[in-house]
Chains A and B, each alone.
Chain A
Amino acid sequence: MPDTHFYRYDSYDRTLVAERVEQFRDQVRRRLTGELTEEQFKPLRLTNGLYLQLHAYMLRIAIPYGTLSSRQLRKLADIARKYDRGYGHFTTRQNLQLNWIKLEDAPDALAELAEVDMHAMQTSGNVIRNVTADHFAGAAVDEIEDPRIWCEIVRQWSTLHPEFSFLPRKFKIAVTGSPNDRAAVRVHDIGLRLWRNPAGEVGFEVIVGGGLGRTPMIGKTVREFLPRNELLAYLEAVLRVYNRYGRRDNLYKARIKILVHEIGVERMREEVEAEYEAAKGGPLGLPDETIEAIARQFAPPGLPERPAIVPAVEALRLEDRDFALWLKANVSPHRKPGYAIVTASLKPAGAPPGDASAAQMEGVADVADAYGQGEIRVSHEQNLVFPHVAIADLPAVWRALTVLGFAEANVGKITDIIACPGLDYCALANARSIPVAQRISTHFAELARQHDIGDLKIKISGCINACGHHHVGHIGILGVDKNGVELYQISLGGDVDFGKTALGAILGPAVDADKVVEAVDALVATYLDTREPGERFVDTCRRIGAKPFKDRVYGTVH
């Protein structure tokens, strides 16, 4: 197996995954014979990643901390071809969804995933889910410590945790290693922010009770600074308090954010700290040795020295406008001179956002092998990232991605839309989201215009569960159902970048499906008319408030 620069499974990890697959194989057999009822079986299949949607079972494959080797990505392509319809969808939680899996095939698909040290454990169900991190981890300039080390530590502790496998509801944890939070830690059940205290020690700010969905809330700091060796003992305390006292009477009030809201953060802190005090010094303490052994596996690749200024790249930038725009939008600075971080945009104009065919996945794996140290990341924005690309290789990468259809220079721009699967796939949805994304994307496809509009994040959810994170979109769009008709509610000014977390404010009455593009046009026009130099869309919203936008939208739209 080629060298990877992230956690490599050892025989313990492999054995656990293999045993889980065999357990599930037997559970599927017992379901198919009728020995297990659907009610008894449902949590067993959910905690193996199998979720029933409108048309078929969906398999949600875990991509821990959004990090993949090229070999793993090729296997995903294989599985998409063999067991599904040849494509997959990258999600806002850095997982991959295959939408047409058969229950009878699932154990075999999981066994094949296990061959490359992948699994679908706990990607659904009332358990601790995939722990997400910053997709630039290990490469970003402003990083204090690689958050993925901690995602791996938490992943192991939370996998098949015997006490926390029947929580009141799902539980989502995110870790950021940088002050510029790219992991949206304040809208997770637990958010962990690594920071260095004045004494120079690295530890965590522990934030509890954030979340989007029906009742969006921003998490509250329960602990300002937690020494890093204490992380698991503290997490176990939080989870135990939640498991004991989280509401179980009402599905919509069962997340930890409701508990924090109802008892208040002071009381929550008291309960957690009391539980933690009692557990401190026990077997959950993390010796430095254990942390270092895992941290070593995330040591960045020894990148050969490459020039920071490359005449060929500069020349191409000057002569090819598309390349220039791509450099501007899709390429970010790397902590090592001579290198860059490249985002492959999975948002070609008019296409379903975040989808990739098996062939495209294999193409991305090839690019990673040739130019990217064999490593790929999945962002929260449904794009793929090559974290380590030499600047000198950028033209070749750009050309290869162009062939694949993943070189649209729109990262962070208006057509880099985040959308949940919506009513086309999902049984929970009230309205479709993908066709709306497609129409907006087609309408604003012209690149020069997109770059003039600048950074603008549109996020679309097909229902109040907010899997599209619409609450934190600069423009948020929420599909609703009114008497069988799809309508879309627009919100303005949400944000989850650069350490800010703000929830968007609803603009006005929901609009018809065929008026959404017009409404977005009106919002963009308002911004272009009123912006000050250097102001992004969301900055103008903050400065002038919603009224000018609202007037413009509801002037054109009824």
Chain B
Amino acid sequence: MAKNLNGDLSIASANRLVDGVVVFLDDAGQWTERFERAALARGERQGEILLERARAEAFGVIDPYLVAVSEDDDGTFEPLSLRERIRASGLTFNAIAADAVRYA
């Protein structure tokens, strides 16, 4: 059951400059393609700090921003908005080429 739907949980995301791939800022301040490794900010203040950190690490990515997420009991999280869910997980249908899905 998803909790924290009021948007005070966030992660930082951007598109990588060199290839446009969706990336997330992890706890070490590195950009990762693995959504589940994204650093989680709880509350507005932590969110601001996370965004500042993302902007400080912005060389090599385009326009980092915060994505609101909700958290499950088991600690997994997913974006609140459909757009961000699609960004994180790829196409919602089978494109003609089988490897078009984000995680092959």
Residues of chain A at the chain B interface (Cβ within 8 Å): 31-32, 34, 38, 52-57, 85-87, 100-104, 351-352, 355-357, 360, 423-425, 427, 429, 431-432, 434-435, 438, 481, 484, 486
Contacts and interface: CB of A to CB of B under 8 A. Distances in A.
B82 A484 contact: yes
Contact of B83 (A54, A86, A352, A355): A54
A53 to B, nearest CB: 8
Question: Which range holds the interface residue count of chain B?
Answer: 20 to 34
B15 interface: yes
Interface stretch (B24-32, B37-45, B47-55, B96-104): B96-104
B95 A87 contact: yes
A85 B62 contact: no
A491 B81 CA distance: 26
Contacts of A438: 93
Q: Considering residues B19, B21, B102, which has the most beta carbons from chain A within 10 angstroms of its beta carbon?
A: B19
A38 B62 contact: yes
A424 B20 contact: no
Contacts, number: 84
B82 A31 contact: no
Given A38-B17, A87-B95, A438-B93, 20 more contacts: A31-B17, A32-B18, A34-B59, A54-B83, A54-B87, A55-B21, A55-B22, A57-B20, A85-B99, A87-B96, A104-B18, A352-B93, A352-B96, A355-B96, A357-B96, A423-B82, A427-B83, A429-B83, A434-B93, A435-B93
Given A38-B62, A85-B99, A52 B92 contact: no
Interface in B75-91: 80-83, 86-87, 90-91
Nearest to B58: A38
Contact of A32 (B17, B90, B100): B17
B81 A484 contact: yes
B63 interface: yes
Nearest to A33: B59
Contacts of B97: 85-87, 357
Interface centre among A54, A100, A434, by most B CB within 10 Å? A54
A357 B87 CA distance: 23
A91 B12 CA distance: 33
A85 B100 contact: yes
9 contacts: A56-B19, A56-B20, A57-B20, A102-B18, A351-B96, A356-B96, A360-B96, A424-B86, A486-B82
Contacts of A52: 15, 20, 62
B18 A484 contact: no
Contacts of A54: 22, 83, 86-87
A438 B62 CA distance: 33
Contacts of A357: 96-97
Nearest to A39: B63
In the A-B complex, the 5 residue pairs with the smallest Cβ-Cβ separation, listed nearest first, are A102-B19, A56-B20, A86-B97, A57-B20, A87-B96
Contacts of B82: 423, 431, 481, 484, 486
Contacts of A431: 82
A484 B22 CA distance: 21
Nearest to A486: B82
Contact of A55 (B59, B87, B99): B87
A55 B102 contact: yes
Q: Which of B18, B81, B82, B97 has the most A CB atoms < 10 Å from its CB?
A: B97
B93 A103 contact: no
A55 B17 contact: no
A104 B19 contact: yes
